[in-house]
Structure 1
Amino acid sequence: MSAPLINTNGLSEEQRMMREGVLDLLARHLPWERIRKMDETREFPHEAYNALAEAGYIGLFYPEELGGMGGSFKDIAVLLETMGYYYTGIAQAITTTAIYAGMHVAKFGTPEMKKEIVPKIISGEVKLALAMSEPGTGSDVAGIKTSAVREGDEYVINGSKVWITCAHVADYLVAIVKTDTQARHNGISTILVPTNAKGVEVRPLSMLGRRTSHANEVFFDNVRVPASNLFGGEGQAWKNIMKALGLERLGLAAISAGHCFKITEYARDYAKERIQFGKPISEFQVIQHKLADMLIMAETARQSIYRVAELLDAGQPVVTEASIAKIVCTENNFKCADMGMQIMGGAGYSMEYDMQMFFRDSRVGPIGGGTNEIQRNIIAKQLDL
């Protein structure tokens, strides 16, 4: 097998060490032959998740005052790119709790909530999921129907959610609900719901890819939670969601960027071993050009995430840049998988090889976390269109 294509140029010594440490840890706790079996059985990677938490990597996302390590956005980009390179499923498992749900608690939670929940996120003791999308409202978050009605010292929640990643292993749901059913954006609030609360039901969904950290349906039937579980301000969820999007899109993009390199390496190694017309297919220019284009897409994706991280570390807005990175990385990820499958021919289409899993796992990128059509709408708005 040839040398890895992804390099550590531009990374600090600490970031290089982190990358090596993460890859070594995952090789021990999530060996590749086990991933293939877990993909088939849709098994969550608990052992690797707990090992990453024990090694302190989840703490990278959180400030020191909450018990974290206070990593820079570049540090986070390197970590997620590395996990995406190794296996997108473990990357998605970590980001679902640490960023998509947990960061709402860290940024907007009550002091008591932060003190109670964030250290347990960092230690791996609790997992969270963000419950936002609904059967009738995917991209239209303001149109959600799930209601939370105040009754004394409690909120009573009714409704349903769909496509909720990792809800089946979550201890808490960060639920986006309507506290004012007559309003749109100003009627949305965020509430913390224990998954073991009476009236909460989670039903796993059979997804095409990312099966080890799959999506679920969630149903709320007269679920009662303390009024203190509402956080971030009543009717303020939309504004809070907007404030969290930069890091969320950086996370999605970084995972896909790392995956581009993994796919390109896999296709290259296959091409160097596959003999046709008396020589390896890697010696044919048509194959060489496909692999060159794949590396171009991988490196372009990588540069886009570091640009977003650089701006975030400088305290700059990243509305346009984050949407561009999300589009570039997720679409390049799928294009790499598609081209890799073409290079491998029938073997790429076979379940005996990993390329089919790369293809399946990459396809969710342009859909999840705000579709790429929505990202283009955002960019158009920034163009004053």
Structure 2
Amino acid sequence: MHGMCFTEEHHLFRESLKDFLRKEVVPHIEKWEQSGKIERFIWEKFGEMGYFGLATPEEYGGLGLDLFYTIIFIEELQKINSGGFAAAMWAHAYLAMTHLNKNANHDQKNQYLVPSVAGKKIGCLGISEPFGGSDVAGMRTTATKEGDHYIINGSKTFITNGVYGDYIVLAAKTDPKAGNKGISLFIVNLDSEGVSANKLNKLGWRASDTAELAFDNVKVPADNRMGEEGKGFGFIMEAFALERLIMGVNAHARAEYALEYAMKYMSEREAFGRPIDQFQALRHKLVDLYSDMELCKYYNYGVTFKMNQGDYVVKEATISKLKSTKMADEVVYNCLQFLGGYGYMEDYPMARLLRDSRLGPIGGGTSEILREILGKIVIDKKEYRSPNGK
């Protein structure tokens, strides 16, 4: 599968990205973890390198590359030991920008997508609400049409890039009585009058800013609505497949990083006159964890292959996130144990990895919600179709 999916060009891209991250990002990670704010200059450097435009057509400043370049981007971001920094980058490129790429019109793309590719505008996605969580259809945020504007009222929470970002792709009810058929998507500037942000204090992902946002009679031009009124739910459901696959890839990549670090440590750490990787109990446990990681990784590559062909992989991507995030939590937990007391120290990577990894089974749809979705697909034979009917 690895040889089938990744070409020599992919491998060269991976090495170039590794070098960029090592030189331009890693020296700043500790500062950003402490401050909870990622400085603007790095966004523009990512833009200059083309990393935000991997999936964007050349017409709008992107590179128009296949999905496996995105997978490499996601994997390598997980291996610099800052889940928060990684989240900020991919939330911009694959949450906000996914909707701009797929659903924005030409003018909207010129105004928001082009500067997003360049790293000059930072985007976020606003779906979850304080009272709704994964219940998208039950959202309470409203957008009321008044002439050539909409008036938006409501709130969103757990919004990565919501404090320091420039715009939000916002889901709101344009017809509160129509259920999921009454949801529309808007591009809202975060400096608009009536928008306020409260920065949330998180267990992990500390380098990224996560916000609860309030919208109090926010006036948004009707030109900033994406697509037709009432089409937002379909757009959201389609994008969830990519988000869940990305969460699955995040998981297998950080598990791989944890195992690589633990194996190196165990080969150097001695107890009773020999390296601890020679003790059968530890060797066998590590091999089991490694095998689970490999299974998830190659499953995720298979889902990527199908998505890259244009398949609507809602079932497969949901399985990816459900199983990979559970696996990663188990791997990181045990790798911390392999390090003994040092695993509990902040000077070693496992403590941060443990905190950052724990969001995996929660963000982008909790594991409980994912199991219910899979129950509907597998047991009830429900079919999910993309908005274009495929």
TM (norm. structure 2) is: 0.92
Write the letter of the residue equivalent to 2:128: S
Q: CA deviation at 1:15?
A: 0.6
Write the letter of the residue equivalent to 1:85: K
Root mean square deviation, CA, Å: 1.7
Specify the alignment match of 2:366 in structure 1: 371
1:202 corresponds to 2:197: yes
In structure 1, distance between residues paired with 2:224 and 2:117:
20
Tell me if the contact between 1:49 and 1:93 (Cα under 8 Å) persists in the aligned partners. Answer: no
Specify the alignment match of 1:80 in structure 2: 74
In structure 2, distance between residues paired with 1:9 and 1:27:
28
Specify the alignment match of 2:17 in structure 1: 22
Q: CA deviation at 1:343?
A: 1.1
1:264-319, CA deviations, whole angstroms, 9 ceiling, x for partnerless residues? Answer: 11111222222222222111111112221222122122112211111012222212
Specify the alignment match of 1:150 in structure 2: 145
Q: CA deviation at 1:94?
A: 1.8
Q: Report 1:123-138 matches (<5 A).
A: 123-138=118-133
Q: CA deviation at 1:157?
A: 1.0
In structure 2, distance between residues paired with 1:352 and 1:72:
38
SS in 1 for 2:181: helix
Q: Which runs of 4+ in 1 moved over 4 A?
A: 7-10
SS in 2 for 1:183: helix
SS in 1 for 2:79: helix
Tell me if the contact between 1:189 and 1:230 (Cα under 8 Å) persists in the aligned partners. Answer: yes
- CA 1:11–1:45 in structure 2 vs 1: closer, same or farther (change >3 Å)? farther
In structure 1, distance between residues paired with 2:206 and 2:173:
30
Specify the alignment match of 1:58 in structure 2: 52
1:358 corresponds to 2:353: yes
Specify the alignment match of 1:49 in structure 2: 43
Specify the alignment match of 1:260 in structure 2: 255
2:65 to 55, 61, 71: 71
In structure 2, distance between residues paired with 1:209 and 1:297:
24
Specify the alignment match of 1:3 in structure 2: none
Specify the alignment match of 1:176 in structure 2: 171
Unaligned 5+ runs, structure 1: 1-6
Tell me if the contact between 1:49 and 1:90 (Cα under 8 Å) persists in the aligned partners. Answer: no
SS in 1 for 2:159: coil
Could you tell me the percent identity over the aligned residues? 37
Q: CA deviation at 1:350?
A: 2.1
In structure 1, distance between residues paired with 2:32 and 2:249:
23
2:188 to 179, 187, 193: 193
Specify the alignment match of 1:4 in structure 2: none
1:76-108, CA deviations, whole angstroms, 9 ceiling, x for partnerless residues? Answer: 112211222334333312211111111112211
Q: Report 1:1-385 matches (<5 A).
A: 11-31=6-26, 34-44=28-38, 46-87=40-81, 88-385=83-380
In structure 2, distance between residues paired with 1:232 and 1:128:
18
1:5-49, CA deviations, whole angstroms, 9 ceiling, x for partnerless residues? Answer: xx98952111101111111001001226x4234223223254443
SS in 2 for 1:292: helix
Unaligned 5+ runs, structure 2: 381-390
Deviates more, 1:81-90 or 1:331-340: 81-90
Tell me if the contact between 2:5 and 2:305 (Cα under 8 Å) persists in the aligned partners. Answer: no
TM (norm. structure 1) is: 0.93
Specify the alignment match of 2:383 in structure 1: none
